[in-house]
Amino acid sequence: MKVLPFRIPKQKNEALIYQEDRERIFYDQLHQHQEIQISLVVKGAGSFVVADTINDYKENDILVIGGFVPHVFKSDLNKSDESIQYSLFFNKNSFGEHFFDLADMVSTKPFFQGSEYGMRVLSNKQKITKQFKKLPHQNKIERIATLLKIINLISIAETNSLSSFVYKKKYTDDEGKRMNDVFKYAMEKFHEPITLEEIAGQAHMNKNSFCRYFKKRTNKTFFQFLIEIRIENACQLIYTNPDLSISHISEKCGFATIANFNRKFKEIKGVTPTEFRTLKY
């Protein structure tokens, strides 16, 4: 299977795809597809990268990923031994080139704007989940009606963005493999020291070329990205291990000093690790 672009299997002239993923882990290769994806995480937890940003996901999350937005999931088998996700895939012009531009559809504009950077739904979740749970038992016409209900509910819901920058050009297969190797290495080795020479080697590039290449596609340096991965993993440890000391968490997440960990954590999360623990509990 090619890493990028990833094609959603569908029949010719099929407007909407409903897919159930029931696997040990979610598909863990960086990929992008032309369809907009709306997903309900029925079971499972872990982290995932959307464009330039790492996020966490958990059971009952509702996620929207826009067309051609690169993303990759990393399931955490320590939290769940099975991953289940219900997803809908469609294009903005699936039901006619100007269908969503009709006056009747003006209220869907926030949905399509938000999908460009990916978004997590924060409110209306019960109502949206109820619609998702109907999908396995519906025919294709009923699923289209359910999609419109879900889009409407997301359009009026509170959401937050999953990324801050999206590289506007479609990745080639070679670019996709290269970025996948870099992301995968960083997500698996974040707790260890990683040198620029080491990570550039994963991309089969020299250090200067890699720095330019990564910055152009993510709008940040690799080490900014690595720090975000470390902080996101630290948040998960704080959340799931209340008895683990902050200094131990700092060390487990690859920080050389507790002072640097505290400073970077506050820069990214707006609070110190200790304050974050207090908020979580």
- How many Cβ atoms from other residues are within 10 Å of residue 269's Cβ? 16
Residue 12: pLDDT band (50, 70, 90) is low
Residue 231: pLDDT band (50, 70, 90) is very high
Residue 11: pLDDT band (50, 70, 90) is low
DSSP state of 19: E
pLDDT digits (tens, 9 = 90+) for 81-129: 899 999 999 999 999 999 999 999 999 999 999 999 999 999 999 999 9
pTM of structure: 0.84
Angstrom distances, CA of residue 154 to CA of 57, 90, 129, 273: 18, 15, 11, 32
Average pLDDT over residues 70-75: 90
**pLDDT(278) > 60:** yes
Instruction: Compute, in degrees rounded to 10, the torsion defined by CA atoms 169, 68, 54, 227.
Output: -10
pLDDT digits (tens, 9 = 90+) for 120-149: 999 999 999 999 999 999 999 999 999 999
Q: What is the pLDDT of residue 32?
A: 87
Q: Set out the domains of the chain in order of their start, with CATH numbers.
A: 17-161 (2.60.120.280), 173-280 (1.10.10.60)
DSSP state of 227: H
- The dihedrals phi and psi of 17, each to the nearest 5 degrees, come to -115, 125
Tell me if 110 sits within 8 A of 155, measured CB to CB.
yes
Residue 280: pLDDT band (50, 70, 90) is low
Residue 3: pLDDT band (50, 70, 90) is very low
Residue 4: pLDDT band (50, 70, 90) is very low
Lowest mean pLDDT among 136-140, 195-199, 241-245, 262-266: 241-245
